[in-house]
Amino acid sequence: MKTLEIHTDGACSGNQCDENVGGWGAILQYGSHEKELFGGELDTTNNRMEMTALLRAFEAVTKVGQSVEVYSDSSYLVNCFREKWYENWLRNGWVTAGKKPVENRDLWEAILPYLARHSIRFFRVKGHVNLNSKKLNLDSLFADFLKNNGGRFTLADFRHIIEMNNRADALANKGIESVTPRHSPPKASENE
């Protein structure tokens, strides 16, 4: 069975401010087929955009029972699934170990049913890596990636994953641009 790769990213300009703009991007790859998705929202957070990217990608998968690999630079997202935080949240009535309501519950509740529909593995990627930088220590980054994600990946796989994460980031920025209010030029005075 082929594996469906999903590469996601979220971004938020003005994260944690009263007014901000966020965007999300996702790339689905299945063999030689590829689909790009993006969008944006006003007054959101980076974590919500990371989650929205994953949700929209899952919504785009039409067949049930897929083998899925999700690649994200969001520790929040990846750790939730790898460490199964959601199991405690469900058991505790959507309350954290710190006795606070789980943030982004609406998105978690929308995402969780997909875990039963597919066989999904989550991989953490370092974001914003410029593969063309002369200062880049690719061997060190690759070693960290393998330590965090298992040793089955080649250096070529790693480069591909980084390139896809950069593309998902560009899509998230495109999402921001899609909802950023455009400033119209000032109107000329009627007396001029």
- The partner residues of 36 in beta bridges, in order of sequence, read 27
Number of domains present in the structure of the chain? 1
pLDDT at 17: 77
CA–CA gap between residue 28 and residue 25 (Å, rounded): 10
Inside any domain, residue 145:
yes
Q: What is the pLDDT of residues 48-89, one digit of tens each?
A: 999 999 999 999 999 999 999 999 999 999 999 999 999 999
Q: Is the pLDDT of residue 184 over 50?
A: no
Nearest CA to 34 out of 64, 11, 4 is that of 4
Model confidence at 12, pLDDT cuts 50, 70, 90, reads: very high
Q: What distance in Å separates the CA atoms of residue 111 and residue 155, rounded to the nearest whole number?
A: 31
* pTM of the predicted structure, to 2 decimals: 0.91
In a domain, 188, yes or no: no
Would residue 192 count as lying in a domain?
Answer: no
Q: Quote the pLDDT of residue 189.
A: 45
| Strands 67-72 vs 33-42: parallel, antiparallel or unpaired | unpaired
Q: Output the domain CATH number for residue 21.
A: 3.30.420.10
Tens-digit pLDDT profile for residues 126-167? 999 999 899 999 999 999 999 999 999 999 999 999 999 999
Closest CA to 141 of 163, 123, 126, 153: 126
Residue 187 lies in a domain: no
pLDDT band at 183 (very low <50, low <70, confident <90, very high): low
Q: Which residue has the tokens 């789980």?
A: 102
Q: Look at residue 107 in the predicted model and tell me its pLDDT.
A: 98
Query: Does position 14 have pLDDT exceeding 90, yes or no?
Result: no
Average pLDDT over residues 31-58: 96
User: Per-residue pLDDT tens for 87-130?
Assistant: 999 999 999 989 999 999 999 999 999 999 999 999 999 999 99
Domain of 112 in residue numbering reads as 3-179
**Residue 21 is assigned to a structural domain of this protein:** yes
